[in-house]
Structure 1
Amino acid sequence: MTNISHTQQSRLLRWKDVQPRVGICRSQAHAMIQEGTFPASVKLGARASAWVESEINDWIESRINASRRQGGAA
């Protein structure tokens, strides 16, 4: 079961759409997924994955908030 409300539209994004938003490379994203610090992908098939758009947006927002709390330091 997912935590996304029914009123919020869910969209799946492929890596080519995620990467420009998050500014990290695919290998870094996969390392961060293993660490639990980046949203996990959703398997679409044997060789295809995607990310839930709202989870990516939440991750971006959390990075912005963390940066602001640290006084702008990354």
Structure 2
Amino acid sequence: MQASSSAALPETGFLRLPEVLRLIPVSRSTWWAGVRSGRYPQPTRSLGSRITAWRVEDIRALIEGAAGAKAAA
């Protein structure tokens, strides 16, 4: 049995875009369009002005929300 992708995530921390896209199978342009529209979480720049990353908690919530919506359908 394979563990779910959200179970493999650490409890806290940050993910860079390549790691996020391994978990959420969309293209870079689709991801950034979703960030702009509010469909996907906003990144943080707290690690540095040239570092874009997402909080693990936000990505986990996105995955779990998508799984819940899929189960409800």
Gaps of 5+ in 2: 1-10
User: What percent identity do the matched residue pairs reach?
Assistant: 27
Distance 1:51 1:25 in 2: 16
- The answer as to 2:48 corresponding to 1:48 is no
Normalised to the residue count of structure 1, the TM-score between the two structures is: 0.73
Distance 2:28 2:13 in 1: 20
Gaps of 5+ in 1: 1-8
Partner in structure 2 of residue 58 of structure 1? 61
Distance 1:24 1:47 in 2: 23
Give the greater-gyration-radius structure (CA). Answer: 1
Deviations 1:24-67 (A, max 9, x none): 12211111111111011112434320000110011001011111
Higher relative contact order (CA 8 A, sep 6+): 2
Q: What number of residue pairs does the alignment pair up?
A: 62
Task: Give the strand-richer structure, 1 or 2.
Answer: 1
